[in-house]
């Protein structure tokens, strides 16, 4: 489980950094588009960065050519959110293989609750 958490975290951070560096290269570090504070305070002064509010939007950003670098950063955030869920799912067979049925049941209930909340939350 610790490996899932470690590598999930590392992969997430790497994806976010690649996306942010790609965005900086794409718009230019000195441009108004890169000045997020100015863009938020005065939308006419600079174009605010794209915001992804759903997984299909992120996938559309990845399908474009060239790939939207903020979509890559969004994939890093999604991976960061999915990492603990993956660790709980991995815990179930590990506890079973160790013969610890109590913790296997707890991890199964927790995994079902986490996955169920993702499905219910995504439906609205």
**Per-residue pLDDT tens for 5-45?**
899 999 999 999 998 888 888 877 666 555 555 544 555 54
Number of domains in the chain: 1
CA distance linking residue 68 with residue 74, whole number of Å: 10
Please give the pLDDT value at position 39.
Answer: 47
CA distance linking residue 114 with residue 58, whole number of Å: 22
Tokens of 6: 């470690």
- For residues 108-112, average pLDDT: 93
Computed over every residue of the chain, the mean pLDDT equals: 80
Give the range of the structural domain holding residue 57, as residue numbers without chain letter.
2-123
Give the count of beta carbons closer than 10 Å to the beta carbon of residue 29. Answer: 9
Distances (CA, A) of 33 to 28, 77, 78, 98: 8, 21, 24, 53
């Amino acid at each position: 489980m610790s490996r899932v958490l470690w590598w999930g975290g590392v992969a997430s951070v790497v994806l976010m950094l690649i996306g942010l560096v790609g965005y900086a290269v794409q718009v230019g570090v000195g441009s108004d588009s890169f000045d997020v504070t100015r863009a938020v305070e005065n939308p006419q002064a600079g174009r605010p960065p794209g915001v992804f509010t759903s997984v299909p939007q992120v996938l559309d950003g990845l399908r474009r050519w060239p790939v939207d670098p903020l979509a890559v950063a969004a994939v890093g955030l999604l991976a960061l959110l999915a990492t603990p869920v993956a660790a709980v799912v991995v815990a179930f067979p590990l506890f079973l293989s160790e013969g610890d049925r109590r913790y296997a049941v707890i991890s199964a209930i927790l995994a079902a609750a986490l996955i169920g909340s993702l499905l219910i939350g995504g439906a609205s």
